[in-house]
Structure 1
Amino acid sequence: MLVTDARIIWNNLKGIVCVYKPAGMKVSRVRRTIINKVCTELNEMECRPPVKHVYISGNPSEKLSIEVKPNLADDPLVVGRRYSYNDLLCSWSNYLGQFTSGILILGLKGGTSTAKYIRENKSTRAYRIKGMFGLATEDYSKDGRVVEKTTYKHVKQIHLEKLLSYMQAIHQKTMFELCGVDIQSQTAYELATQGLIRPATSKTPLIYGIKCIDFKLPEFTIEIQCINEYEMYLKSLIHDIGMKMNSSAHCISLQCIRHSYFTLDHALLHRQWNLQNILKNMEQCAKIIAEHEHIVFQKNAALQRG
């Protein structure tokens, strides 16, 4: 049954939403668009009528008349629309740079605490990054000023894959070093069996996995699973790959394809950003979180029994 009462929808509008942020759009603009869209559609629905006000008139020494009328001070024409931009709390769980597209998690109203929990839980993210050999730019992206041109035909896929394996091994070693553990020790083995090792600090980018999924010179595409990353770091990674391949490279596109347990299949596209889709997506996200917490609980119980 389709609910048309704005008050009911407003009271149930609390949770997290998974949307797809287009490249070139700032996170702040996505947030502003979502809030304005929700408030606009709520105001177009059946809203709360003005509160009643008791009017007493007449001569106190004689008979008084009492009337109950709508309070004009509460009329939308006086106080404005029932739902405004500042009424809806909204915060993001992961920040994507302007050049980056992909999954963005937003918490609405009471869902801001859930978004904060996901953010502070140091969840890993996965990216699909496309680069191009032969050109180096000032800001490592396709829109930057070209600072160097090089040859690239000597670059082979097998050489790129070896480099990526080496980079992954270096980062795995760094993970244990940040924990103060020797990678060859029994303690390191026990840490590894408990799951992903997360650094105590949120300022150190770490790569858990990196691989080449497409190689068609001069372009190539890699997928990376990481934590504590930021846009410039990922773009500079493509630049470093170009240098280590005795060439140069810049980033063509940068897409977040997974954040925590949310994937592209869960994300609302720009054209789907409306109230009804947001409500459906909120329910879907709640189920995903509940299912994930159930799996974590089962794993923890199994570890305790073991």
Structure 2
Amino acid sequence: MKSTRSLIPKVEHFVSDARIAWKVLNGVFAVYKPSGVTFLNTRDSIIHRLCEDLNSMHVRPPIQHVRIEGDTTKKMKVVTQSSYADHPLVVGPRYQPKDFKLSAANYLMTDSSGLLICGINNGTKWIQKLIDSKPPISYKVKGILGQATDNYFKTGKIVEKSTYKYIKRSAVDKICASMQAAHQRKMFEFCGLDMQSQAAYELAVQGLVRPADNNIPIVYTIKCVDFKSPEFTLEIVAINEDEMYLKTLVHELGMQLHSVATCTQILCFRYALFNLDLALLRKHWGLQNILDNIEQCHNILDQNRCLLKQNNPILVKQDN
């Protein structure tokens, strides 16, 4: 992997010229996506804020229109003036939403919140590299015992209630360990290997085993990190998961505890080399903060480029 230092100019001072800011607005940055907001709304909000900030700065003046005036039988004069065809009052602001390219490595859906890794303009190439590396994603998933809804989330209609006071922390830990072991077993079954075999050990020591099929979700870790009945918090590290799959894990946990459970929060707190500490809150989605965040994120990529180069995913296919 090439160094990113040559690609991302340093932004050590406040940028006042929109043309300079636009040139350095290329890279990867992290934001905090709130729950109840779609990715598209988040994307539109970021781009709208960037447009406002860029257009409020010193922008390129209108191009000059050259006109020749005077009697053609006499000496004529050349007059230059601002072209109305390039004036912001005619063509609109210099920077518009259609000028931006913005994509995300982890598309958090509506009910999910937390760390969202975005790439802007040329930074979308880095986003694709991150996606291709198939990094595991870490979540904190909260749930509540004793009630089940029709959509497995707190926003749904309650369709079932059950007792839960008999459930202890030890029972939750036991079920989590069982679910994690089942997923590890499934991963090695795709390889046609016995978990107790030498071949399985040699495959495991090479690094994280990832399914070649992106439609196969795998949970690497699931553990209970907080339990205050009826509420609990799970820490889940997974790949190829989606929002509904995480909600289903909470529902399945409730069923195995001989009760019911509903998911109340999904928080992404780590993606690849990035953690939640880097994420910009909505009030900080301004141009200068994003430029500073791009530099921070690319310093992380630069410092870990050797690790990323060596951490090629070990892909396994399911036997027919």
When the two structures are superposed, what TM-score results if normalisation uses the length of structure 2? Answer: 0.91
State which of 289, 296, 299 in structure 1 corresponds to 2:301.
289
Alignment of 1:26-41 (within 5 A): 26-41=38-53
Report the alpha carbon displacement of residue 204 of structure 1 after superposing the two structures with TM.
Answer: 0.8
1:51/1:70 contact within 8 Å kept:
yes
In structure 1, the residue matched to 2:5 is none
In structure 1, the residue matched to 2:83 is 71
CA–CA separation in structure 2 for the residues paired with 1:288 and 1:212: 30
Alignment of 1:123-202 (within 5 A): 123-202=135-214
* 2:257 aligned with 1:260: no
CA–CA separation in structure 2 for the residues paired with 1:2 and 1:111: 21
State which of 97, 116, 135 in structure 1 corresponds to 2:128.
116
2:224/2:234 contact within 8 Å kept:
yes
State which of 103, 107, 119 in structure 2 corresponds to 1:107.
119
Look up the equivalent residue of 2:217 and give its one-letter code. P
Matched positions, count? 300
Per-residue CA distance 1:155-188 (angstroms, 9 max, x = gap): 1111111111111111111112223333233222
CA–CA separation in structure 1 for the residues paired with 2:116 and 2:190: 29
When the two structures are superposed, what TM-score results if normalisation uses the length of structure 1? Answer: 0.95
Structure 2, unmatched stretches of 5+, are: 1-12, 313-320
1:211/1:224 contact within 8 Å kept:
yes
2:27/2:122 contact within 8 Å kept:
yes
* 2:89 aligned with 1:98: no
1:129/1:255 contact within 8 Å kept:
yes
Per-residue CA distance 1:251-304 (angstroms, 9 max, x = gap): 11111111111111111111211111111001001111111213345789xxxx
* 2:87 aligned with 1:85: no
State which of 21, 26, 33 in structure 2 corresponds to 1:9.
21
CA–CA separation in structure 1 for the residues paired with 2:289 and 2:279: 11
Alignment of 1:235-246 (within 5 A): 235-246=247-258
* 2:234 aligned with 1:222: yes
CA–CA separation in structure 2 for the residues paired with 1:150 and 1:102: 31
1:299/1:229 CA distance change after superposition, 3 Å: closer
2:15/2:288 contact within 8 Å kept:
no
1:5/1:46 contact within 8 Å kept:
yes
Identity %: 47
Any idea what SS the aligned residue of 1:164 has?
A: helix
